[in-house]
Amino acid sequence: MSHLNQTDPSRLQTEKDATDASLPPTSGRASEMARRVLRIEADAIDALIARIDKDFERAVQLILACSGRVIVTGIGKSGHIGRKIAATLASTGTPAYFVHAAEAAHGDLGMITPADVVIALSNSGTSEEVLTIVPLAKRRGANLIALTGNTSSALARAADVHLDATVVEEACPLNLAPTASTTAALALGDALAVALLDARGFSIDDFAHAHPGGALGRRLLTHVRDVMRPREDVPCVPFDAPLTAALLAMTHGGLGMTAVLDAQGRLTGIFTDGDLRRALERGTDVHATRLEEIMTRNPRSISPNALAVEAADLMERLRISQLLVVSDDQQLIGALNTHDLMQARVI
C-alpha cells in the first residue's frame, strides 16, 4: 500500500502515454456514433410523453385495484427489461416479480392467479412464447397490460390495456439490435412505477424498509438512538461548576467536550476543546473562572428519533464534531460524534 501511495505521478502519465501510443488510431467515429445513439434514444423517450393518456391511467388503476401481484413477463431483450421493471415496482411499493415467458409455458404459469395483473413486454407484439401464455393467463382471470412497439399486434389487441412504446428507429445503425426500443420500454416501466409510488403515498420510510441492506439501508433506517453514546457515557457538569471540573470531565469522557446541565438536569450549554482553546487565548484564569462564564449556551442538539444521516448533515453544516442528544423537554439522553457515525458506516 505504501508503495502505491508513493508512485511518481509523472511515471503513471508516461505509462498511460505509452499505452495510448500502442492503440490503433481513430478518426473520432466512435464518439460520433455514441452521440447518434444517445440522440436517437433521447428522442425515443421524448416521443413517449405525448402517449401518456387514458390507457396509462387505466394501467395504473388496474394495478392499484390488484389484490394479488404484478407479474412481468417477456423474452429476450424484452425479458431483461421486464426483470428490471419488476424489480423497480417491487422496491417502490407494488409487489411484483418476473416470470420468463418460456418458463411460464413449462410450469411457471402456475404462479399466476386470478388476483394478479400481468404486464407482458414484446417490442414486436408477436413473440411466440409470450402469445402462448397470454390466453392462458387471461383464462385464469388475470388482467393483462401489454407494453409493445406495435399497436396493431396480436399482443396489443389481446390486452386489457396497451401501452405504446413505439420507436421510429433503433439506435443500432443496422436498425436491428434492440436499443431505442428497450430504452423506451424501460423508461415507460419507470414512469408506471413512479406513478404507482405517488398514488400509494409511498414514503421515505416505506422505501427504507424495502431497501434494508447496504449503504442506502443504513442511511434510511439508522436512527440517532442506534448509534449514540448513552447518557451514562457522556461527561456532564452543572452550569455553576468551576472550569477545572469541566476540564476533568472532558479528560475522563474522551469526547472532547462536556455537557452543561441546569439544576433540573436540562441541557443548558456545552464546553468543548474549542471553547477551552479560545479561553486560553484570551488569558482566562482556569482556576478562578466558573464554567457558566465561558461555556457555549443553548447548543445545537438532536432528537434520538432523528435519522443518523440528519445528525451527520447537521454536524457537517455547523462544522462541529459532536452533537448532544436530548428529549423533548431538553433532558440529556446521549451524545454522538463523527467517529460514531463513521463506525456505524452512516458517513
Domain 32-202 grouped into CATH 3.40.50.10490: yes
Q: Which residues, including other chains, have CB under 8 Å from residue 208's CB and lie 6 or more apart?
A: 216, 217, 220, 221
Cα angle vertex 168, ends 162, 172, to 5°? 115
Strands 161-164 and 143-148: parallel
Using a cut of 0.75, tell me whether the model's pTM lies above it: no
Sheet holding 236-238, edge to edge: 236-238, 257-261, 267-272, 296-297
What gap in Å lies between CA 295 and CA 342, rounded to an integer?
Answer: 27
The pLDDT tens digits of the residues spanning 91-145 come to: 898 999 999 999 887 778 888 999 999 999 999 999 999 999 999 988 989 999 9
Please tell me whether residue 22 adopts helix, strand or coil conformation: helix
The pLDDT tens digits of the residues spanning 186-241 come to: 999 999 999 999 999 887 666 666 655 555 666 667 889 999 999 999 999 998 89
The pLDDT tens digits of the residues spanning 310-330 come to: 898 998 898 888 899 999 999
> Class assignment of domain 224-343?
alpha beta
- Structural domain boundaries in the chain: 32-202, 224-343
